[in-house]
A and B are shown apart, each in its own frame.
Chain A
């Protein structure tokens, strides 16, 4: 189905929450021999089914622990679902916890190449975009300084600048619109808005219902790992408000 950007079919994600963390072989053997290896099974997602059409901007709503972040990670391919499957059509760019791929001993310039490689860009592409990235992150003066001397704002700015260099087909946003100071926030929001215009499919997680309403046209609502509503933003937002009040 070429019209869909993301298809989530019967996805379930199970975690084993062991009582205590077993890190050593000896402990594991002893516990296993005693038959004391017990796991608390926990389904972070269960039977989640939905499809997202190309160009839709979908907000993911739910209380803390509803499974929003797990769902995003499953869609981004970081988690492999225990059950079901996720089909993605097109280039996906996750803006999740920016700068997680940075190496603190590396300089800003070196990290631009490293992080770009992590995101799957080509070298030629980075060569071409290098100046734009530095300029957008406003780090011209500090680009040859090791990242460990950066402030957290500088790091997220750099991460944001790198991650938004491509024109993605699918964009995953996890509260990243609160990056940096007010000035940079405005700039990053403008950048994301300009991406919206090019018919990108967006998945957006935020606790601010206003922000979701402003940015999205559709929404899904998760509760304890299950999908309880999906459809137009206003309908789903109404159900969400009912549940939270």
Chain B
């Protein structure tokens, strides 16, 4: 059974690659700067966020733009990855109705191509760390952990959303609202300490995306993310769980997709 699964995956690897390529190519087609936007866009929004919020929250912190950029980059991958995965089944309805292809290829390719764009945009972060003198040390290697967790979480949530949105299209609008809530509780453009003072620090403990961003910041700033193991264990559990639930849910309902698109 598993062997057969791996065989079909091998057979459709080329399709997966083509779909990832398509996502990246079409995203910036017909814009003059093309793929350069993957770098420009986070750079410009970070400038705006620093201008707006830096004066409030980051007065004493010379490296505040790096702080914002790390949060924003990770959040925007999560947001676009889940959104595109959610819409992937409907977007490829034409193909699904005509040819047999393992359906998980569609949400998977959506998450993957957004991950590639995200990976390219990390170059901006590299530049920012040099400009703002956040120098790397050995802990930087641990950045790989939150990145893997982020990918898993996005894939898992994306699979859950893609299954549910086939049956209830309202979810596309609901998710936008939910994402807003997630964004404001991710501490992208403010320091957690200011929130902690008001006694609302528990909110962050419920947000796996914040935990991932926190771990990533620790790595970038050269600190150990394991100082309080909660911040590594919690997102690990949630991410793995989301993938398990996502795959199970998708598998259970995928044969009915065609009757609803």
Interface set of A (CB-CB < 8 Å, partner B): 15-16, 23-26, 28, 76-80, 94, 96-97, 100-101, 103, 105-106, 110, 113-114, 116-123
Contact = CB atoms under 8 A, between A and B. Distances in A.
B15 interface: yes
Query: Which A-B residue pairs are the 6 nearest by beta carbons?
Result: A77-B100, A117-B15, A100-B98, A117-B18, A80-B255, A101-B95
Contacts of B169: 23-24
A28 B94 CA distance: 26
A78 B259 contact: no
Contacts of A114: 18-19, 22
A68 B120 CA distance: 49
Given A79-B258, A123-B14, 6 more contacts: A26-B170, A78-B96, A80-B255, A96-B98, A96-B99, A121-B14
Contact of A94 (B19, B98, B259): B98
* Most interface-central of B97, B99, B100, B259 (chain A CB within 10 A): B99
Contact of A24 (B14, B25, B95, B168): B168
Given A100-B94, A118-B99, A25 B14 contact: no
A100 B168 contact: no
Task: Tell me the interface secondary structure of chain A in the complex.
Answer: loop
B254 to A, nearest CB: 9
Contacts of B95: 100-101, 118
Contacts of B168: 23-25, 28
B171 interface: yes
B11 A120 contact: yes
Q: Interface centre among B18, B25, B97, by most A CB within 10 Å?
A: B18
Nearest to A26: B170
Given A15-B259, A25-B168, A103-B22, A78 B99 contact: yes
Given A15-B259, A23-B169, A78 B14 contact: no
Contacts of A79: 258
Contacts of A123: 14, 17
Given A15-B259, A103-B22, A106-B22, A122 B14 contact: yes
Contacts of B12: 117, 120
Main secondary structure of the interface of B (DSSP, over half): helix
Nearest to B164: A25
A100 B22 CA distance: 16
A203 to B, nearest CB: 15
Interface string B11-36: 11011011100100110010000000
Interface in B69-110: 94-101
A78 B22 contact: no
A96 B259 CA distance: 18
B13 to A, nearest CB: 9
A101 B14 contact: no
Contacts of B11: 120
Contacts of A25: 168, 170-171
A103 B255 CA distance: 24
Interface string B124-155: 00000000000000000000000000000000
5 contacts: A24-B170, A78-B100, A101-B99, A106-B22, A120-B101
B98 A105 contact: no
A118 B95 CA distance: 8
Nearest to A105: B26
Contacts of A103: 22, 26
Contacts of B18: 113-114, 117
